[in-house]
Amino acid sequence: MVDDIKINLNIEEMQKAGLNFGHNVSRLHPRMKPYVAGIKNNVHMIDLEKTAKEFERALKFIAKLAGEGKTILFVGTKIQTKELVKATAEDCKMPYVAERWLGGTFTNFETISKRVAYFKELEHKKASGALEKYTKKERANFDKEIESLRIKFEGIKNLAKIPEAVLILDIKKDITCAREAKRKKITIIGVTDTNIDPALADYAIPANDDAISSVKYILEKIQEVILNGKS
């Protein structure tokens, strides 16, 4: 039962991880005002009591989805956090996008799926030795194509259908993903820093989306409930 799931959020730990550091005061999104506790060195500080409340709500929803065997697509394309996003998604056995968001991933899913199928076919041909009949130059071209497709599709190659939810670690950077999710009525769980409209997410987590320590803390808690929810 989701209601019975233990959510372990500690304000002190959240502060240590830097979840409370927002952006420069000039970059405040008006709808983030209720989540701001004050200003320090010209930077808005996020109210972690409110973050804990919203994060708990999001975690309970994530646990529910995991328990039902539903899919959450992890999206985090920032250079400093993409490896973390990829590793966490893989540990949770969830699909991910850690490189550039490909326009149409949701809104033109059928076409994207055909490209993914082609990528998987090429991978299979290479692994089975079916490409050995080609010349050295042709094989080199296939290798180059496989690598290009891998960068684009590796994280979604087992995504058979549109996911039930998407976790966006930086809505501003991946706004195209958020817009496509809205159009396809996919539930959005999003980290919302002080420069982001929290209304873009169905489950907003008001927190620092830049610091690796902050993103790591958020992903660890999400991984915890997903693995518990599946067990």
Confirm if 109 and 202 have CB atoms less than 8 A apart.
Answer: no
Confirm if 65 and 72 have CB atoms less than 8 A apart.
Answer: yes
Residues 152 and 166 in one domain: no
Residues 67 and 167 in one domain: yes
Confirm if 63 and 229 have CB atoms less than 8 A apart.
Answer: yes
Joined together, the tokens standing for residue 119 give 């990528």
Residues 140 and 28 in one domain: no
Euclidean distance between CA atoms 79 and 98, whole angstroms: 9
Joined together, the tokens standing for residue 84 give 């973390």
Residues 85 and 98 in one domain: yes
Which of 62, 86, 63, 66 is CA-nearest to residue 74? 86
b/e map of 78-102 (b: 16 or more CB within 10 Å)?
Answer: beebbebbbebbeebebbbbbeebb
pLDDT per residue as tens, the chain (231 positions):
455 667 879 999 999 999 999 999 999 999 999 999 999 999 999 999 999 999 999 999 999 999 999 999 999 999 999 999 999 999 999 999 999 999 999 999 999 999 999 999 999 999 999 999 999 999 999 999 999 999 999 999 999 999 999 999 999 999 999 999 999 999 999 999 999 999 999 999 999 999 999 999 999 999 999 998 776
Residue 8 confidence (pLDDT): 79
DSSP run (H or E) holding 85: helix 82-91
Half-sphere exposure of 197 (CA within 13 A, CB side): 5
Residues 55 and 121 in one domain: no
Residue 228 confidence (pLDDT): 87
DSSP letter assigned to residue 164? S
Joined together, the tokens standing for residue 14 give 């959240």
Residue 51 confidence (pLDDT): 97
Instruction: State the pTM of this model.
Output: 0.93
- Which residue range(s) make up the domain with 123? 109-156
Residue 126 confidence (pLDDT): 92
Residue 4 confidence (pLDDT): 60
Residues 84 and 125 in one domain: no
Residues 130 and 222 in one domain: no
